[in-house]
Structure 1
Amino acid sequence: MKNLKKIILATIFTCLIAPVFAQKASWIWYPGDFDIYMSNVMQNRRTERGSFFPVFWKMDSHYVLVDFHKEFNLAQAEEVKLFVEGTYNVKIDGQAISGFPTSIQIPAGKHKLSLKVYNQAHVPAIFVQGKTVVSDESWLTTFEDKEWIDASGKTSDKSGTTFVSAGSWNLTDPMILPSQFKLPVVAHSAIKTEKVNNGFVVDFGKETFGFIKVHGLKGKGRLSIYYGESKEEALSINKCETLDNLDIDLVQKKDSVMPLSKAFRYVNYQSESGVSVDSISMLYEYAPVTERGSFKSSDAELNKIYEVAKYTFHLNTREFFIDGIKRDRWVWSGDAYQSYLMNYYSFFDAPTVKRTLLAQRGKDPVTAHINTIMDYSFYWFLGIYDYYKFTGDQKFVQDIYPRMQSLMTYIDGRKNKNGLLEWMPGDWIFIDWADKLSKDGEVSFEQLLYARSLETMVLCAKLANDVESAAKYDKQAKEIKSKIFERYWNQDKSALVHSRINDQPTDNVTRYANMFGIFFDYFTPEQKLAVKKNVLLNDNIAKITTPYMRFYELEALCAMGEQPYVLKEMKNYWGGMLKLGATSFWEEYNPDKKGTEHLEMYGRPFGKSLCHAWGASPIYLLGKYYLGVQPETPGYETYTIEPNLGGLEWMEGKVPTANGDISVYCSQKEIKVSSATGTGKLRIKSKSKPVVKGAEVKEVSKELYEIKIEKGKEYKVKYSG
């Protein structure tokens, strides 16, 4: 009875207090500022053998003085609590409140609450919590008032101030300042320990990431810790990429956690005489995203590839989408662009996409390409294009549009006399890691990305109601596309050539522009077939060895209906890494290499990343081109499902969307579909008309049928594949 009474009283108390805090508050800041700040913090954690390794590009900073305000119409007076990171003042209806209040009373009626915050070290941020007065992204903010006062002391009635919606990461604990943000950790133990020299090598069983914790540390002298994605790397005390050295002077045993998280599977810890260690474990650091997408099939090896790809991708999903967990841990735009696409078929975590796009872009003025790489600026635009397609989030596009304009203005200013782009001082033309890949002259690949980026500007200008600019970008896009086919298409080779040098096209044909031309849908149907035959399926064209560009090559083949071929390629390529013992997928894989050659890159014996985000592309390929799910209109308002077994006996999985999952099962005789969102269109290739209850089967063309999919319903279709 006593416990029951406590439960009843607690329930009554909860019911009474719940309405008081019915609306949820969050820490807010000037949009993009915390993203830039945290990316600076994260990217400057990189070390190489104990030395600080800074990024190659300009790093921006947050605005140090920011104004926040919002108008409220209160039915009754309200007590409002204030939490601020920085020095601040508070105004109600323009009247300052003395001191640094942590709680204020706002009278009933219409009022404007304003806070102005200064913070040089960290991002100016506020957390406001009342019953209805709460801080969220509906607040307006600016970094410059542009106000003036006349001789009488009157403040101007007009202002040139530009106010924008506040930014937020949904940080909802007022007692934890934004600058204290950290990813969560969980304790993990090693699975194997063996004695080596004056210490031990421990194996955590698979590639992982986190903080090493030393247990029972005691004595006087040095403890050295050598990290390795491979055992060979951990044992190579002179060549391993990352390490820690600790000078110890402890009489009593103590546990110690290393200050920086690192990537490893193996850890080799060696101590001088006089220093003892009981054992080591780790604190696994992770992004708390939800695994929503799934895939399983009749092929056990493919299932393993999918699971390892998903693990690889999760490891490289942190505060932002990064390239790899061992070496760079930087926000590279080309790597991140592929991560966005994988994300839409796994976590569907829109906030991480947005914060990565904001962090990459930084602040005006633009003085260089993103990451200093021409193609990476274009991938940034493409990331926004796809973000809108998958999420339907028009507000984010409108908010980031001015930053898109200024970057495009910078790019437009670097065209040559032919109206095309080529290398200029300060540029890095990357394309791919490939031997003897020319970057000279006007490279066709860069022009294709430029055209697509201009098409993105057309879309976003329309969403931002900038009709005049939309027309300008549309004209530019059409001009560039026209030049691409006038100047790079070689009729004899039935392909786009790689480049033009000194105003003359070269004879060199590479895969890059040609495969992008397929899934950009820039080719005619006849050109697509010719490119597939003469380029993509032609062994005489230089092969691609990085998962980075294999991503696009296999996508182009899938877009051409080559799923059986792509399935074999996935099993050979990613399965090849698994056969060599990979527990996560690599930055580069060349099956012709042997033994420790697989660990080499950049002229260093262990320079290669064995856990690289761009190695996880099967997630995207299997979701989009095998389960066959993709949006037709933004945010999956309408979508298509076109399953393609590609030689599998059966497959099943889920594709996440902003409003729920789309589930697909497909065998050689049956398809099952259900969806929590939008209106779909199931497209089936069948020798005879499919049979389904409760839905109409429409014949589109010979042996191709469509069935309308409505949300909340389950469909079971019999067909003859």
Structure 2
Amino acid sequence: MPTRNYLLLLLLLIAVPSSTGQDAPPAAITKPAFDSNNQDSYAAMISRGYTPLFNGKDLTGWRNPYPFGEAKVVDGEIHLLADKKFFLVTEKKYSDFRVSVEIHLPEGPANSGVMFRCHVDPDADKKVFGYQAECDGSDRRWSGGFFDEARRGWIWPSTPGRSEKQFLEHETQSKAAFATPIIANALNRNGWNRFEITCVKDLITIELNGIQTVRFRDTTDASGFIGIQHHGEEGQTYRFRNLFIKELPQVPAERHVSLTEQEPVSIKRINDTTTLIDFGKVAFGNIAMPVPSGRGTAAVHFGEKLKDGRIDQNPPGTVRYGMTPIRLGGQMGNWIVPTPVDARNIEQAGLIYANPPAVLTPAQWRSVMPFRWVEIEGVSSDYPFDLIRRRAAFSNTWNDDASSFECSDETLNRIWDLCKYSIKATTFAGVYVDGDRERIPYEADAYLNQISHYTTDSDVTMAARTFDWLMENGTWPTEWAPHMVFMAHAEWVYSGDNDWLKHRYESLKTKTLMHRSGDDGLIRSDESDQKRHDIVDWPQKERDSFVFTEINTVVNAFHIEAIEQMAEMARAIGKDSDAEAFEARAELAKQSFQKLLFDESAGIYRDGVGTDHSSIHANFFPLAFGLVPEDKIAGVTEWLSKKQMQCSPYAAQYFMEALFNHGRDEQALDLITADGDRSWKHMVDSGTTISWEAWDLKYKPNQDWNHAWGAAPANLLPRFVLGVQPATPGWTTATVRPCPCGLTFAHGKVPTPRGPIDIEWTNKTHFKITVTLPETISAKVDLPATKASTGVLIDGQPVAATKSGDRWILKDEVHGSVTIEVTQPASN
């Protein structure tokens, strides 16, 4: 994207709404605070995979190329003192990396920065020159700017007399960007500030306290030193701490994914020259095969789709096909046949603006792609085809036995098998990615993948790893940012790890959309947001004719849910003042949300202020997030109960949650298993073995056939039909609340970090369930009640329980293995 267009996009993204007469959000919850304990900050960076550039004790690894200037270590910080400008630089050069440095400016006139990919000329007057991320203590407020020290001057923003002509072309736009409040106020003038600079090929980004200030391409330097600056004010001490680097690219699969050799399920000779091999399911990988004898060349075709009994060599959308030529003879033994390389899947600094770097797979694997079938063309019929193996990539800790589900509906069982395998098959990159189109994590995709991974596998470190990746490589949609709060909250609830949360909490403040909120607590969407950034659903045709306005119901539902989760997490790690501020802000926003967005006459929510249109999205998102007042729930659920699957597989996660959580479990199951082409039944009936990105190609012609966000039943069935969810962080307490959904039986195993929970229930003459818990988990039990039911028995003995609507709620928690029955009146 040209620089000018990027600036316009940046300005539109960060425009701050006008005042509406209420109190503004407290500064403590609008941006990260890095003044906390230095040991905590240091531990946080280590936990996120960074390498220290400074050991906190001495200046090992650093040098001062000047004959003046003093650098010393004080209480784990580097202090620079001088009466002339100088730089302390690393002894090692770096090329592609993400570097993080915290700076505390002195009072009074002060200016500093972080040098990166810089150079040292010991014979020059200005010995250190090159790229710098600016730390500007003046009223100009250009902190986070991109400066070329002792060379070309200001790059972004640019200004006459201090910038070269090429950079003055974007003077107006760049200065306007730095005048917007979110950038102008990013620096904490009297405290610590975290600068994070990422260099990937020619792409340079600068972030200040979690706010991206620069995204620019420059080809001048590909490597160099890291440096820190004293500007030369006599008597001033510049302080630096937590200097870390992460060299790029990172390849998560090198440590976390293994290749599994798989035998063919079937082998079929198609004609005199071609043999079709079926591996049963799609997986990401390539093949190993004995070297064919003979002369000339042959071809290996890889495919996800068949057409007329052959691999479809011109499949629709981004359904995968590829061919690799091989030369016959000349070698002995086995060889690896890699799949063709899709340049987009390995791109680290592509020309598409929105995309962060692709997640690479290990070079030693050779290239991989998703395929089920292989055609070997040009090899004689006596070749040992049965010795061909697919080398399939899966998480090296995946446990097929960690989870199970079976019920009285065979279609639902097939859906479970499809969705569970979809989660397994998409672990190939070591972090959650968007299938095979771009191989990058997206926040919403990753969250849906995460919660399904928790319910299908017993080792889910990939979730936390993906969270850290996305915090450094975020994407563009509005609602995707709050999904980072959801990811952190889900990981904390799953693990109960307060230290993990504490190390990431402050950075999450940039993900709540607070910078777009008005004084009434609601988020504003400008024209660019309405046309591009506000997602509602994806693809666009799945939005149920949603009408975009400045105050958008779906965007605000996500914002409110995010700040409520932030309040809960703040409380958990002892940040009570933050928690109170988030709670107050959430309450303000909820009041405004109900007042401005609820249509009292219709009893449902509008899409936004300024329209009378009501989509299902404007109603099931608030319902799923608990934003609907108690006296309005019946009306909203009744309206939704008449709707079909008028949303994508992504939004269906929330639609189904809204139904399950509000007594509409049978409707949810009916939608999951519906006939037609907008259900998971349609997916399994199609023969796919990994869930799709969309319900069908006609709804998204470029859809992937290997997309984990289409696998929502992998978490919906354990959480709602079996009824198992965590009640407290770390699973010290679980909730068992099964929803029969018209089924006569269901049983399964739900993994937790404390061991599996086994559930088996029947729903025939009466409801009966056996719950088997790990020793360190107790469970709150909530069971379905018929109108005639009279009480509850545990192992044949009556227990205290309260009937609430159509549920029996047990007074006491249960432990170990128990059988619980809902009793019925004795028959005559």
| TM, length-normalised to structure 1 | 0.70
SS of structure 1 residue aligned to 2:479:
helix
Of residues 597, 617, 625, the one that matches 1:512 is: 617
Provide the residue aligned with 1:558 in structure 2.
660
1:116-155 aligned within 5 A: 120=94
Q: 1:719 to 1:478 in 2, by over 3 A?
A: closer
Provide the residue aligned with 1:183 in structure 2.
257
Provide the residue aligned with 2:392 in structure 1.
284
Once the two structures are superposed, what CA deviation does each residue of 1:446-476 show, in whole Å capped at 9, x if it has no partner?
1100111112222233344334433333333
Provide the residue aligned with 1:679 in structure 2.
778
Provide the residue aligned with 1:80 in structure 2.
none
Provide the residue aligned with 2:822 in structure 1.
719
Q: 1:237 to 1:433 in 2, by over 3 A?
A: same
SS of structure 2 residue aligned to 1:204:
strand
RMSD: 4.2
Distance 2:569 2:455 in 1: 23
Equivalent pair of 1:316/1:322 in contact (CA under 8 Å) = yes
2:779 maps to 1:688:
no
What is the deviation of 1:295?
Answer: 1.7
SS of structure 1 residue aligned to 2:730:
helix
Q: 1:479 to 1:117 in 2, by over 3 A?
A: farther
Q: 1:459 to 1:162 in 2, by over 3 A?
A: farther
Amino acid at match of 1:550: A
What is the deviation of 1:400?
Answer: 0.7
1:170-569 aligned within 5 A: 180-181=254-255, 183-190=257-264, 191-195=266-270, 198-217=273-292, 223-232=298-307, 235-239=311-315, 241-246=320-325, 248=327, 251-252=330-331, 255-258=335-338, 259-270=366-377, 279=385, 280-288=388-396, 289-291=398-400, 292-362=402-472, 370-408=474-512, 411-415=513-517, 419-423=522-526, 425=528, 428-430=533-535, 431-435=537-541, 437-438=545-546, 440-442=548-550, 443-500=552-609, 504=610, 506-534=611-639, 536-539=640-643, 543-569=645-671
SS of structure 2 residue aligned to 1:193:
strand
What is the deviation of 1:331?
Answer: 0.9
Equivalent pair of 1:444/1:497 in contact (CA under 8 Å) = yes
What is the deviation of 1:717?
Answer: 2.2
Distance 1:383 1:422 in 2: 24
More displaced stretch, 481-490 vs 353-362: 481-490
Distance 2:390 2:508 in 1: 42
Amino acid at match of 1:260: S
Equivalent pair of 1:30/1:66 in contact (CA under 8 Å) = no
Distance 2:664 2:689 in 1: 28
What is the deviation of 1:489?
Answer: 0.5
Equivalent pair of 2:778/2:814 in contact (CA under 8 Å) = yes
Q: 1:33 to 1:708 in 2, by over 3 A?
A: closer
Equivalent pair of 2:298/2:326 in contact (CA under 8 Å) = yes
Distance 1:571 1:117 in 2: 62
Equivalent pair of 1:222/1:245 in contact (CA under 8 Å) = no
Once the two structures are superposed, what CA deviation does each residue of 1:114-133 show, in whole Å capped at 9, x if it has no partner?
xx9967368899xxxxxxxx
Distance 2:630 2:384 in 1: 67
Of residues 691, 695, 700, the one that matches 2:802 is: 700
2:16 maps to 1:66:
no
Once the two structures are superposed, what CA deviation does each residue of 1:651-692 show, in whole Å capped at 9, x if it has no partner?
222222222222222113422122113332222344022222
Distance 1:543 1:675 in 2: 35
What is the deviation of 1:494?
Answer: 1.1
2:692 maps to 1:576:
no
Once the two structures are superposed, what CA deviation does each residue of 1:254-283 show, in whole Å capped at 9, x if it has no partner?
623312111111233445x99998644311
Equivalent pair of 1:32/1:355 in contact (CA under 8 Å) = no
Q: 1:219 to 1:328 in 2, by over 3 A?
A: farther
Equivalent pair of 1:416/1:422 in contact (CA under 8 Å) = no
Equivalent pair of 1:217/1:256 in contact (CA under 8 Å) = no
Q: How many residues align?
A: 574
Distance 1:268 1:326 in 2: 21
Equivalent pair of 2:563/2:582 in contact (CA under 8 Å) = yes
Distance 2:683 2:458 in 1: 27
More displaced stretch, 568-577 vs 216-225: 216-225
Identity of aligned residues (%): 19
Once the two structures are superposed, what CA deviation does each residue of 1:372-394 show, in whole Å capped at 9, x if it has no partner?
11111111111112222232111
Instruction: Give 5+ residue unaligned stretches, structure 1.
Output: 1-27, 35-61, 70-92, 98-111, 126-141, 151-155, 168-176, 364-369, 590-597
SS of structure 2 residue aligned to 1:719:
strand
Q: 1:178 to 1:324 in 2, by over 3 A?
A: closer
Q: 1:707 to 1:468 in 2, by over 3 A?
A: closer
Once the two structures are superposed, what CA deviation does each residue of 1:196-232 show, in whole Å capped at 9, x if it has no partner?
6854332222222211234324667665444322113
Amino acid at match of 1:251: G
Q: 1:274 to 1:578 in 2, by over 3 A?
A: closer
Once the two structures are superposed, what CA deviation does each residue of 1:683-720 show, in whole Å capped at 9, x if it has no partner?
23440222224977213236724053444x22122323
Provide the residue aligned with 1:139 in structure 2.
none
Equivalent pair of 1:587/1:610 in contact (CA under 8 Å) = yes
Provide the residue aligned with 1:89 in structure 2.
none
Instruction: Give 5+ residue unaligned stretches, structure 2.
Output: 1-42, 62-75, 77-89, 100-194, 197-225, 339-365
Q: 1:236 to 1:471 in 2, by over 3 A?
A: same
Distance 2:376 2:698 in 1: 23
Equivalent pair of 1:32/1:362 in contact (CA under 8 Å) = no
SS of structure 1 residue aligned to 2:261:
strand
SS of structure 2 residue aligned to 1:386:
helix
Distance 1:391 1:236 in 2: 44
Once the two structures are superposed, what CA deviation does each residue of 1:281-330 show, in whole Å capped at 9, x if it has no partner?
31111112224232222333322221221111111224445355443332
More displaced stretch, 221-230 vs 671-680: 221-230
Equivalent pair of 1:217/1:276 in contact (CA under 8 Å) = no
1:95-114 aligned within 5 A: none
Provide the residue aligned with 1:637 in structure 2.
732
Once the two structures are superposed, what CA deviation does each residue of 1:215-252 show, in whole Å capped at 9, x if it has no partner?
32466766544432211397443456442444648633
Q: 1:560 to 1:406 in 2, by over 3 A?
A: closer
Distance 1:549 1:633 in 2: 26
Equivalent pair of 1:217/1:255 in contact (CA under 8 Å) = no
Distance 1:685 1:651 in 2: 14
Distance 1:715 1:574 in 2: 33
SS of structure 1 residue aligned to 2:335:
strand
What is the deviation of 1:354?
Answer: 0.6
Q: 1:682 to 1:413 in 2, by over 3 A?
A: closer
Q: 1:218 to 1:362 in 2, by over 3 A?
A: farther
